Structures are given as structure tokens and as C-alpha cells.
Amino acid sequence: MQYMLMCCIDEALWNGLPDAERDAVMNDYNALIQEMVTSGHYRGGARLQSVDSATTLREQNGKVVTLDGPFAESREQLGGFHVVECRDLDEALGLARRIPPLRVGGSVEVRPVDPAYRL
Amino acid sequence: MTLDDLYRREYGRVLASLIRRFGQFELAEDAVQAAFEAAMVQWPAQGWPPNPTSWLISTARHKVVDQLRHQQMRERKGDELRQHLELMLECDLEAEPLDSLRLIFACCHPALARPAQVALTLHTLGGLRTEEIARAFMVPVPTLAQRLVRAKAKIRDAGIPFEVPDDTALGERLESVLAVIYLIFNEGYAASFGDDWVRGDLCAEAIRLGRMLVRLLPAEREARGLLALMLMHHSRRDTRTDEAGDIVLLEEQDRTRWNVDEIEEGSAHIEVALRGSPLGTYAVQAAIAALHAQAATPAETDWRRIAALYSLLYALQPTPVVALNRAVAIAMADGLEAGLEQLENIHLPNYHLLPATRADLLRRLGRLDEAAVHYREALKLVTHDAERRFLECRLREVMANAADVDLPLAGSKEG
């Protein structure tokens, strides 16, 4: 099965971290991704630019309008995502729990990919 | 044994075996149901088969294969699958003990919410019907049914594995399994003040699951600790209320009616559970319960050791409820004032047992006016009928006695 690991963090919190800590997290992050590629789990993913750069489309009164920002209710923002091929949820959770931003307050949502739309 | 007993005992095992084979929860459930229905028709007429469980598994397996075959026909798929299915039917007719373990780990997977874990465990391993579980947990039937449907869909769609977790994850995952079993037990135990048999049944079911877990994971000491804890509580079950359904306190219970077999079985598990470190919270709680159960009279209760064990428990699990129990033990071991002092540092707003405990210690100290104040406080918070009646009775008692004895004292206080 394929799972999407959606990595979220409060951007203000992330930007407030000391440079050295952010670098350490990202180094570990790259190492983990390399490992997932090598082990054959990795199907793709990306880190996203900050929500400041986001544009949201929404239909209002039958017209699609373009809006600045995501206007997310939650304090956490999607910072990046990965799609991994795993035997079952436990294997996916095993990978997800190693995602480094977890240790600085981030969260990871794990969702199975609809088999008809596999990557 | 009746077919009903067999259903209760074997439903989970038969289901687990089919889920392992075919991986589809709902298909397996329908087939097991159909197999039991077939048994209900055939066995009374033709006699019981020599190995009823094998009969049920093989019948259920044929039903699954029939189902899959029909599906294949509709989808016009070829012989390959048919051959595959025939092969499946040929081997491995026994239920593997590990299947039950796999099933309980799937049902209690942390990706499911706790109420769903509980419902699914009772439904699949306990063979309880949706209505029975709904009644036991006082949830509307449609809500419970919906909960089960959603949980099964999540197992399928999220790919929750039908597997015993490996060693690295076992500890954490076992915790969730134990919590579910204990929740089932407590739901039945707290309710046994009333006389709703379905809820009383939950205790028996939880103990059955606990025994199964110990049998299948003999090296897991906390599983033994939990089983021991449940057995210790359960051994006193019949003496906790009188004929009118009113609460009988531990110190007033008829100890000759405690279940000796359960106390012995529990004590044996505690010994194993306490061997080695780290100590688990269930094992420590069981050890406390055992000290109560093993005292021949209330006066012989080893409150010193109980207080020490509560301190140990508090170190492992620093919750206000543990602190409250520890305060009671300290009161009994070191004097009532020492216990009262402990209560000062506990914050448990809206929990009736805090003012009730304070009231009880004050009552024992003869400070009856103060006791009455706290009994009234507790009565504002209590929700359980039997507990309310108990507190009301105590309040009347201290008020009557306070009127007799304490009036001059009250007068002198003002003077």
C-alpha cells in the first residue's frame, strides 16, 4: 500500500528555532529520505515553501476567486509530504515516527493513498 | 456445553483464523455467522461433530470460498483464483492460537480511537452482538453499529495489519491492549452495583481475554499483573453490595464469601509479575489488592505495606487519583491526621471521592460537623445511585451523632 506522510509544523515555531537546531533537523531529514529511497520505500515527496507564498482558490457565488494565503484554521501548516510504499500501516507509522521535525513540535499525518491513484 | 457457550468461547478464534486466511474482516464475519447458524440447524439433529471448532472453521471457510467464487463469476475472472481457493481449503484446518493474538492487536491498534477498540474487541473476540455492547456501554445501538462499521473500514482502508507487532513495538502496543481489557473490566465492575447482567458479563469477558493474553504472551509480566488485578477485584464481587443493592465497604464485607480460587490464581500471577524490573503499574495495583484480599480480618490489613506500594505506584503513575488512594493508606497506617494532611495537596475538582474521603477521615476522628460539610460536598458530585445512597446514609449518621455529642463543643467554639 502507499501512504502519504503529511508533515505539519507551526511555521512561527519552526522559524524561531536556533539555526543550528534547524540545520540538524534538516540534515537528519535528508538522511532519512536517503534511507527510504535506498530501501525502496520512497515514491516521492517535496518540501513546501512557507504559507506566505500560498494562493488559495475557492468558489464563491458560482465564481472561482483567488485568495492570498491558506487561511487555515489550525496553527500548524503543511510543510512537506512524502509518499511511501509500505506493507501495512505499522510499517508506515514506523517510518513516520522517525521524521525529525516531530522532535521540535511538528506532527505527521499518515493517510493511505487511494489504490486507484497510486504514484 | 451449549452452542451458546461455544459461540462465546470460540467465535473470536474461528473469526481470527478466517481473517488471517482471507484478510477481509466483513467477509470473514459473515461466514462465521453463517457457520454458527448452520451448526444451530444441523447439530441438534445430527449430533455434535468430534471437533466442533474445526467443523466451524471448515464450514466458515467453505462459505467464504463460495462468496469469493460468486464475486469472481460476476467479475468473469478465470480459473486461477478457483484453484487458489481450492488449495486454501485443503490445508490448515485448526485455529492457530496466534490468530487470537493477531486479532486483539488489530482491534486495539492505536490508529483506532479507544471506544472503537473496545467495541471491536468485544465484538470480534468476545462474540458479543452489537446490541449487547451498546447496552453494556449505554450507547444507542445505531451509534455503536456505526462505530463498528467505521472501525472495520479503517482497518481495511488504512491497512492496519493483522499481525502481532515485533519486539520494538510490542511494549507500546501491548499497553493499548491491556488498557482496553481493563476498561472492559471496569465498565462491568463499576456497574455491578446495579444488577444488569450484561454489564456483569463484561468482567468475565475481560478476565477471559486476560487469561488468553497471559497464555499467549507468557513472558509479558504486565499482562499477568492485569489479570491478577482483575481476579483480585472480582474475587470480592459478590460481597460488595447487600440484597438491597447498597454498598458494603471492604472492612464490612463477609470475607468468607470471597472467591478463594480467584485469589489464589491472582496471587500466583502477582508473584511472577513482580519478579524483575521495571515494575508495572498493573502488577503493583494487583499487589495492593492482594494485601486486602489476603487479610483474614480488616484489622490484620497490612496498611504499612499498602501505603508503601501506593508510594511506589505514585512514582510510576503520578495522578491525583493514585495520590488519593495513597492518602487513605497513610491515614490507616500513620494516623488519620497524617492522611488528612495528604489530602490538602490533591486537586481533583468534580470528583466525589475526594470530599467523601475527607468526610470519612473526619468522621473517624469524631469531627462530625466538619464531616457533614464534606459529605454534602460529595453528594453534590456523585452520579451513581448506590454511592449516593451510601453517602446520604453516612451524612444522616454523622448529623444524628453530631446533634447528640457535639452541640456543647460547637457552643464552646463560639465562646
Phi-psi sector, B9: left (phi>0), alpha (psi -120 to 50), beta: alpha
How far apart are the C-alpha atoms of B192 and B217, rounded to whole Å? 29
Dihedral sign computed on CA atoms, order B377, B380, B384, B388: positive
pLDDT at site B192: 55
Question: Which residues of chain B have a CB within 8 Å of the CB of A87?
Answer: 161
Question: Residue B411 pLDDT more than 50?
Answer: no
Is it the case that residue A115 has pLDDT exceeding 80? Answer: yes
Distance CA B313, CA B326 (A): 9
Residue B88 has what pLDDT? 55
- State mean pLDDT over B189-209: 74
Q: Indicate the range of B47-51, B96-100, B327-331 predicted with least confidence.
A: B96-100
The H or E element spanning position A63 is: strand A63-68
- The pLDDT value given to residue B311: 96
Per-residue pLDDT reduced to its tens digit, B250-306: 889 999 999 999 999 999 999 999 988 889 999 999 999 999 999 999 999 999 999
Closest Cα to residue B228, out of B247, B241, B213, B240? B213
d(CA A1, CA B108): 21
* List of residues 6+ apart from B28 with CB closer than 8 A: B15, B18, B19, B22, B60, B64
The confidence score (pLDDT) of residue B99 equals 83
In A, minimum Cα distance to B110 occurs at: A90
> CB contact, 8 Å: A4 with chain B?
no
Determine the straight-line distance between the first and last CA of chain A, rounded to whole angstroms: 11
Choice between B77 and B371, residue whose per-residue pLDDT is larger: B371
Query: Which residues does chain A have within 8 Å of residue B163's beta carbon, measured at their own beta carbons?
Result: 88, 90
B36-43 long-range contacts, CB within 8 A, separation 24+? B36/B3, B36/B7, B36/B11, B39/B3, B40/B3, B43/B3
Handedness of CA B185, B188, B193, B198 (dihedral sign): negative
At residue B310, φ and ψ (nearest 5 deg) are -65, -35
| Whether pLDDT at B7 is above 50 | yes
Chain-chain contact of A1 with B159 (C-beta, under 8 angstroms): yes
Residue range B20-36, pLDDT digits in tens: 888 788 888 899 999 99
Residue B366's pLDDT band, with cuts at 50, 70 and 90, is very high
Three-state DSSP class for A28? Answer: helix
Question: CA torsion angle for A79, A82, A87, A88 (degrees, to 10)?
Answer: 20
Global pTM exceeds 0.90: no
- Tell me, yes or no, if A109 comes closer than 8 A to chain B by beta carbon: no
Residues of chain B with C-beta less than 8 angstroms from the C-beta of A112: 157-159
- Minimal CA separation from B161 to chain A, in Å: 6
Winning range, highest mean pLDDT, from A36-40, A72-76, B17-21, B190-194? A36-40
Percent of the residues in chain B that have a pLDDT greater than 90, as a whole number: 54
B170 → chain A, closest CA residue: A90
How close does chain B come to A91, measured CA to CA in Å? 9
* Closest residue on chain A to B112 (Cα): A89
- Interface check for A23 against chain B (CB to CB < 8 A): the answer is no
Contact across the interface for A90 and B161, Cβ inside 8 Å: yes
| Parallel/antiparallel/unpaired status of strands A42-47 and A77-85 | antiparallel
The answer to whether A86 and A3 are in contact (CB under 8 A) is yes
pLDDT for residue B413: 42
Taking residues B153-164, report their average pLDDT: 88
- Which residues in chain A have Cβ-Cβ distances shorter than 8 Å to B169? 90, 94
Predicted ipTM?
A: 0.72
Residue B80 has pLDDT above 70, yes or no: no
Does the pLDDT at position B193 exceed 70? no
Residue of B156, B160, B167 to mutate when probing chain A, most A C-beta within 10 A: B160
Whether the predicted pLDDT of B410 surpasses 50: no
| pLDDT band per the 50, 70, 90 thresholds, residue B198 | low
Q: Report the chain B residue with the minimal C-alpha distance to residue A1.
A: B159
Instruction: Please check whether residue B212 touches A, CB under 8 A.
Output: no
Inter-chain CB pairs, A–B, below 8 Å: 26
- Please list, in sequence order, all residues whose beta carbon lies within 8 angstroms of the beta carbon of residue B252, skipping any fewer than 6 positions away: none
Binding-face residues of B in 150-189 toward A, CB within 8 A = 157-161, 163, 165, 169
Q: Which of B157, B163, B169 sits opposite A112 (nearest CB)?
A: B157
In the predicted structure, residue B100 carries a pLDDT above the cut 80: yes
> Among A1, A90, A112, whose Cβ lies nearest the Cβ of B165?
A90
| Alpha-carbon gap, residue B182 to B74, rounded angstroms | 45
Please provide residue B178's backbone torsions phi and psi, each rounded to the nearest 5 degrees: -65, -40
pLDDT at B91 over 80: no
CA distance A96 to A99: 5
How is residue B252 annotated by DSSP?
A: G
B109 Cβ under 8 Å from any chain A Cβ: yes
Q: How confident is residue B70, by pLDDT bands cut at 50, 70 and 90? A: confident
B136: cell is 453494556
- pLDDT above 70 covers a percentage of chain A that reads 97
- Rounded to an integer, what distance in angstroms lies between the CA atom of residue B92 and that of residue A81? 43
What is the overall mean pLDDT for chain B?
Answer: 87
Q: pLDDT tens digit string along B126-152?
A: 888 899 888 888 889 999 999 999 999
